[in-house]
Amino acid sequence: MLIADGPMSYSRAAWYEGTNTTLFLVLFSMVTILGSFIFWSIKGGLGLVIRKRRNIAAEERLVKWGKRVAYLQGLLAFIFFGSFILNGELDPVYGLPVQAFTAPSPVVAMLDRVIPILMILVTFVIVKFAIAAWVKGHKRILPRIHYSVFATASLALIWVFYYWNIV
């Protein structure tokens, strides 16, 4: 892939500047974050229907708070990308998003500014919980791996936000 570097001159783009890398990172992040969000929503809904009383140990409290923070990240991603999809209609003549030619509504402008910043803050907390899950030694390995992949997906999405000046 080539990128413009002044009028009529091109330079080779680095591997991380290409469309394929960005698309892969966004898709990986969104499938992981939104997939986990949907799974935890269904699991939480079933948990409300089937009430179980358990004595929660201190170690499980950390896991529970980690899931809550990750759930918040999923909710923020759902709102951000939902807003993007709902407001990302293409102009029939130019094939570009309508926002390229018109000013977005105040609500969309606020969402586009606030949600990515909240996602960055929540990502730092998610990374902290992922490290704590490995250091404190959560009982099962699969939740640790899932949370680590979730933290990696959140970091990848934040990198895309930063690199492409979304934040």
Q: How high is the pLDDT of residue 98?
A: 67
Q: What is the number of domains present in the chain? A: 1
Lowest-confidence region among 8-22, 86-100, 149-163: 86-100
Distance CA 77, CA 82 (A): 8
* 136 in a structural domain: yes
In a domain, 4, yes or no: no
In a domain, 35, yes or no: yes
Q: Closest Cα to residue 126, out of 112, 14, 101, 118?
A: 118
pLDDT tens readout for residues 3-36: 555 565 666 778 877 788 888 999 999 999 999 8
**What is the reported pTM?**
0.76
Q: For residue 1, tell me if it sits in a domain.
A: no
27-73: per-residue pLDDT in tens? 999 999 999 889 888 887 787 777 666 555 555 777 778 888 888 99
Asked, for residue 75, whether it belongs to a domain, the answer is yes
Range of the domain at 94: 18-45+58-163
Question: What DSSP state is assigned to residue 104?
Answer: P
Phi, psi of 164 (to 5 degrees): -95, 20
